[in-house]
């Protein structure tokens, strides 16, 4: 019985019903196919099959099949052009405001990963760029997202009992997608491919150096090129060609949707310098030239927080003998900037400070310490230039090394800031229950408690004969917290400084504000009191009870 399913009849049907030749392609479609072939034969094959389906007349589920193919092409390109790290970075920034700018929020919030991969593929890694209205990448991203996020509606069944969707329902979307592909794999991808080839040169030829400004005329291509460039040998030619000149430092940009709010664009060329500055063979003199130009105090400062952070990172890689006072001054300006990035404080405390300490650079260390501990008055209170967390981290890590190198000079710097606090708001220091000279005993202290403890630790680490005169002067200071620090120093060096206590004029127990440190001194050292000293203590106690 011939039921229409025997091998011979089935084979004959395939040959007669399915066209064997490729459909006629328009010039745009030929270019898209050719460029997709350069990326991967599979993606190109999907595209060609999509065109066959588009021109076919005998497929009742053509809309669904086209949608599936479009999804495969779209997903393949996103995988090629974006990395997991880049996608994760931008996905974390996709707030409701950003997603609303990109399209339908209720739909995009369910497809953040998809959206993030498109943005990463286009080199968009900062959500603030997405809120801009004049970035060509943003407009292209919106087009791509709008088209590709509709594919799933056609790819899946919309009800087994319903009539299949007509091919015409998807045709408009397919042609829009072809427009996306034409731009994506045409001139844009071609330029990226050229940049890939250039990045592979270990050293740039003069022809390449001459052509580079034209090739890197757009933000996205500069970002792509300098992220890909890895060779140290490019550093000097790029410097000679002016890519690291301070004039190239991008100015802060005002957000069009948030008037008065500015963001710091990336200086992509300098990011390359940051990356290769850690190379063991990186020429220090070139790094110094770059940094000296950026930190030149005669130039008008460009307040770009990203550039400041990158500059500080490069300073942290310099040999100790190449770090200059102007570099430290730059760090101060960067910390005072409204565009400041938090990671800068970590770089200062964990890289630059220990480098200066290890190199025994006393003056530079004191200059940096002054900046790290500095406070300024901002209505309605005082604030530190550095975040308290990073100050605490730096002082706990390097307090002993600071004491060994700087001695009382460091304490003098801290005492200036303590007096500022006491003058502005004495309650901040009066509420310190007890002066602690062991920083490890502090748990998340506020700045006042931290700097008081740090100062006390400096006295504890110091040689007693080097601090005697200073302590004697501090015992007469009008600020009670300063006198308390002096008393704590006597306690920590009792055998050498006890005469400063016993020579006290009047009854020290009458000094109510000094009570915590006074009682600690007596409690800690009473075993060493002579009989006469014990009688003196009893007399003072009786006197206070009268």
Query: Residue 5 has what pLDDT?
Result: 30
pLDDT class of 247 with cuts at 50, 70, 90: very high
Q: Evaluate if residue 156 carries a pLDDT over 70.
A: no
CA 230 to chain centre: 21
Q: Which of 183-197, 221-235, 410-424 has the lowest mean pLDDT?
A: 183-197
Query: Residue 186 has what pLDDT?
Result: 73
Angle at 152 between CA 160 and CA 135, to 5 degrees: 160
Q: Which residues contact 301 (CB under 8 A, 6 or more apart)?
A: 333
Which residue did the predictor score with more confidence, 30 or 12?
30
Q: What is the three-class DSSP state of 377?
A: strand
Backbone angles phi, psi at 202, to 5 degrees: -70, -30
Query: Residue 136 has what pLDDT?
Result: 73
CB 44 within 8 Å of CB 36: yes
Residue with tokens 């996608």: 87
Q: Say whether pTM exceeds 0.95.
A: no
Per-residue pLDDT tens digits for 352-385: 999 999 999 999 999 999 999 999 877 667 788 9
Q: Indicate the burial class of 110 (C-beta count within 10 angstroms; 0-12, 13-18, 19 or more).
A: exposed
Q: In the predicted model, what is the mean pLDDT of residues 129-142?
A: 76
Q: Evaluate if residue 255 carries a pLDDT over 70.
A: yes
Q: Evaluate if residue 185 carries a pLDDT over 80.
A: no
Q: Which residues contact 79 (CB under 8 A, 6 or more apart)?
A: 117
Distance from C-alpha of 137 to C-alpha of 119, rounded to nearest angstrom:
9
How does DSSP assign 159-181, residue by residue? -TTSPPPPTHHHHHHHHHHHHHH
Distance from C-alpha of 273 to C-alpha of 287, rounded to nearest angstrom:
8
Query: Residue 217 has what pLDDT?
Result: 76
Backbone angles phi, psi at 537, to 5 degrees: -60, -45
Alpha helices (H) along 318-407: 325-336, 343-347, 353-358, 362-373, 388-406
Among the listed residues 94, 156, 159, the one whose alpha carbon sits nearest the alpha carbon of residue 127:
94
Q: Indicate the burial class of 126 (C-beta count within 10 angstroms; 0-12, 13-18, 19 or more).
A: middle
Query: Residue 120 has what pLDDT?
Result: 84
Per-residue pLDDT tens digits for 411-458: 999 999 999 998 887 778 878 889 999 999 988 888 999 999 999 999
How does DSSP assign 476-505, residue by residue? T-SSHHHHHHHHHHHHHTHHHHHHHHHT-S
The dihedral over CA atoms of 251, 253, 254, 258, expressed in degrees to the nearest 10, equals: -140
CB 493 within 8 Å of CB 528: no
Residues in a beta bridge with 438: none
Q: What is the three-class DSSP state of 379?
A: coil
3-class DSSP string for 212-276: HHHHCCCHHHHHHHHHHCCCHHHHHHHHHCCCCCHHHCCCCEECCCCCCCEECCCCHHHHHHHHH
pLDDT class of 20 with cuts at 50, 70, 90: very low
CB 108 within 8 Å of CB 145: yes
Query: Residue 484 has what pLDDT?
Result: 94
The mean pLDDT of the chain is: 86
Residues in a beta bridge with 254: 262
CB 50 within 8 Å of CB 134: no
pLDDT class of 500 with cuts at 50, 70, 90: very high
Query: Residue 131 has what pLDDT?
Result: 77
Distance from C-alpha of 318 to C-alpha of 305, rounded to nearest angstrom:
20
Q: Evaluate if residue 82 carries a pLDDT over 80.
A: no
Backbone angle region of 340, left / alpha / beta, with phi > 0 → left and psi within -120 to 50 → alpha = beta
CA 86 to chain centre: 14
pLDDT class of 534 with cuts at 50, 70, 90: very high
Distance from C-alpha of 303 to C-alpha of 334, rounded to nearest angstrom:
8
Distance from C-alpha of 118 to C-alpha of 146, rounded to nearest angstrom:
11
Q: What is the three-class DSSP state of 376?
A: strand
Please state at what angle helix 362-373 crosses helix 388-406, rounded to 10 degrees.
Answer: 150
Angle at 395 between CA 392 and CA 401, to 5 degrees: 170
Q: Which of 11-25, 75-89, 296-310, 354-368 has the lowest mean pLDDT?
A: 11-25
Query: Do you know the residue count of the chain?
Result: 546
Q: Indicate the burial class of 504 (C-beta count within 10 angstroms; 0-12, 13-18, 19 or more).
A: middle
Q: Which residues contact 268 (CB under 8 A, 6 or more apart)?
A: 222, 223, 225, 226, 227
Distance from C-alpha of 92 to C-alpha of 144, rounded to nearest angstrom:
20
């Amino acid at each position: 019985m011939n039921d229409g399913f025997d091998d011979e009849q089935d084979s004959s049907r395939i040959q007669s019903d399915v066209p064997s030749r490729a459909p006629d392609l328009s010039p745009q479609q030929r270019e898209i196919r050719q460029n997709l072939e350069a990326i991967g034969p599979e993606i190109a094959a999907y595209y060609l099959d999509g065109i066959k389906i588009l021109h076919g007349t005998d497929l009742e589920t053509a809309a669904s099949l086209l949608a599936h193919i479009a999804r495969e092409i779209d997903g393949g390109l996103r995988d090629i052009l974006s990395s997991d790290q880049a996608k994760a970075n931008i996905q974390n920034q996709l707030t409701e405001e950003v997603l609303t700018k990109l399209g339908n929020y209720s739909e995009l919030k369910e497809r953040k990963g998809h959206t993030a991969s498109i943005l990463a593929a286009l080199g968009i890694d900062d959500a603030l760029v997405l809120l801009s209205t004049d970035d060509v990448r943003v407009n292209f991203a919106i087009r791509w997202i709008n088209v590709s996020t509709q594919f799933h509606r056609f790819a899946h069944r919309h009800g087994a009992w319903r009539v299949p969707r007509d091919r015409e329902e998807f045709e408009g979307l397919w042609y829009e997608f072809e427009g996306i592909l034409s731009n994506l794999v045409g001139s844009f991808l071609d330029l990226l491919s050229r940049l890939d080839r250039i990045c592979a040169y270990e050293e740039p030829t003069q022809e390449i150096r001459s052509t580079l400004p034209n090739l890197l005329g757009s933000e996205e291509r500069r970002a792509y090129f300098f992220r890909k460039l890895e060779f140290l040998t490019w550093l000097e030619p790029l410097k000679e060609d002016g890519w690291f000149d301070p004039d190239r430092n991008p100015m802060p940009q005002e957000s069009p949707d948030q008037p008065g709010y500015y963001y710091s664009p990336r200086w992509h060329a300098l990011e390359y310098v940051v990356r290769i500055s850690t190379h063991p063979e990186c020429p220090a003199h070139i790094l110094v030239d770059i940094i000296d130009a950026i930190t030149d105090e005669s130039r008008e400062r460009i307040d770009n927080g990203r550039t400041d952070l990158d500059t500080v990172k490069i300073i942290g890689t310099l040999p100790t003998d190449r770090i200059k006072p102007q570099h430290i001054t730059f760090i101060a300006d960067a910390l005072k900037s409204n565009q400041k990035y938090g990671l800068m404080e970590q770089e200062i405390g964990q890289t630059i400070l220990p480098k200066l300490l290890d190199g025994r650079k006393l003056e530079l260390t004191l200059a940096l310490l002054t900046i790290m501990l500095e406070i300024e008055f901002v209505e309605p209170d005082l604030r530190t230039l550095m975040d308290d967390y990073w100050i605490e981290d730096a002082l706990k890590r390097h307090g002993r090394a600071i004491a060994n190198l700087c001695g009382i000079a460091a304490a003098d710097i801290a005492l200036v800031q303590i007096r500022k606090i006491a003058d502005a708001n004495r309650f901040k220091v009066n509420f310190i229950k007890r002066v602690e000279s062991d920083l490890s005993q502090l748990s998340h202290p506020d700045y006042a408690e931290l700097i008081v403890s740090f100062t006390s630790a400096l006295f504890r680490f110091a040689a007693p004969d080097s601090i005697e005169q200073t302590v004697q002067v501090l015992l007469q200071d009008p600020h009670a917290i300063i006198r308390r620090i002096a008393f704590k120093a006597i306690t920590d060096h009792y055998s050498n400084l006890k005469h400063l206590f016993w020579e006290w004029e009047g009854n020290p127990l009458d000094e109510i504000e000094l009570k915590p440190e006074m009682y600690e001194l007596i409690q800690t050292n009473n075993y060493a009191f002579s009989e006469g000293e014990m009688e003196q203590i009893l007399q003072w106690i009786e006197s206070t009870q009268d």
